[in-house]
Structure formats: structure tokens, C-alpha cells
Structure 1
Amino acid sequence: MCKLFVAVALIAVVCAHPAIPTEDQMKAELVAAGISDAASAGIAKIAESYKSQFEPVKGDHEAAKAVFDKLKTETDTYIATQSEADQTAYKAFVEKKKDEFKAHKEAASA
């Protein structure tokens, strides 16, 4: 479940945006999280390339997970080529999004 949210976070910051953010909006959020401009642009570009693949599988957990697995593999491969500072900032960004998702889910089920 958390893995699926990470994909959603890369594509659309669900808790913060009612609509899927643009590539530029995603990049700005990554930069604000402390990830360099260059690394943020690369991550946002990867996320943007998968955006169209998520729309048709909306509501199909297994299909969405398959798309997510591809996205995560590509993003993990990319971030591993970036500086240690970017890797650390990205890891913190992902953890923050997991926490936000958990809080959102708990609030929705209350």
C-alpha cells in the first residue's frame, strides 16, 4: 500500500493536489524538499512519462502496482546516479509522503 502511494506521490501529490500536478509543479515540490534542480527535473520527467499509464488502470490495484513497479525501478535507478545529498533528500521526501498518506488514510477512515 505504501509502495503504491510512493508512485502516486511521484505522479501526483495526492494529499496536496486535487488534480495531477504538471511536470513543473512536481519539479518545484521536489526542489522545495531539498532535491537539486537537475535531479528534480529528472525525477519529474520520469513521473511525467508514466502519468498516462496510470489513468487507464485507475481503480485496478494490480495493474496500478505493475505500472508503479516500472516507475519505481526507473526512478530508483535514476536517483542512484545522483549525488548523495540528492539521494538523502529524496529518501526524506518519500518518507514524508508516506507519513502524509498514512495520516490522510487514517482521517478518511475515521
Structure 2
Amino acid sequence: MNDTTGLKKKRVSGWLSIKDPEDLQKALVRMLNKILASDDPLQHAGRFASLANTWLNAKRLELEAGEWQEIKARLEIVEQAQAFDNRMQVADFKANMAELKQMMELE
């Protein structure tokens, strides 16, 4: 890791790179566990509640992103099906897509 002067900085122990909601969740879980393991967790109840809320929001964002990917894939299939010239091609395409979906579920 470089700073603006080009000198390398040493990462501190426990460093986490946060690039997506899953990384954020991992960091939040670490912090929540530290609070729970402390001598007096009730002293940190406000921080715990705030971190727990942030974790829930990150989880919600992760789920929504997955749903959007699924919707996008379905839309592409519909657009491809509309591009066919006759009903026979559409029927073949739907059968192939059903077979592909079944194969993916088996994995």
C-alpha cells in the first residue's frame, strides 16, 4: 500500500479490505464480537446497536444486488426469446433454458 509520497505503509494487524457488502459484514461481525467479549458489553450497547443496524443494511444490500442480477438475467432471456422468427424456435429455446436451469440446480 502506498501513500501520496510513494512510500510503502505497513498494514496494521487485523486489516480488512472492504470492497463489497460481504467484506463489510465480516468487519462488522469482528467488531460486534469484540464488544460482546468485552468485560462490560452493556457499556457499548449504543455502538453495538449501530453496528448491528449497519450489518443488517449490508446484508439487505447484498440480497438486493443478487435479486437485481437475477432480474437482469431473466430480462435477457425474454429479449432473446422475442428475437426468434417463429414459434418453433421459441419452444426450442424455452426447452433448452429449462434444461439448463435444471442442470444448474443439480450443481
Normalised TM-score (structure 2): 0.31
Pair member with larger Rg: 2
Higher relative contact order (CA 8 A, sep 6+): 1
Higher helix share: 1
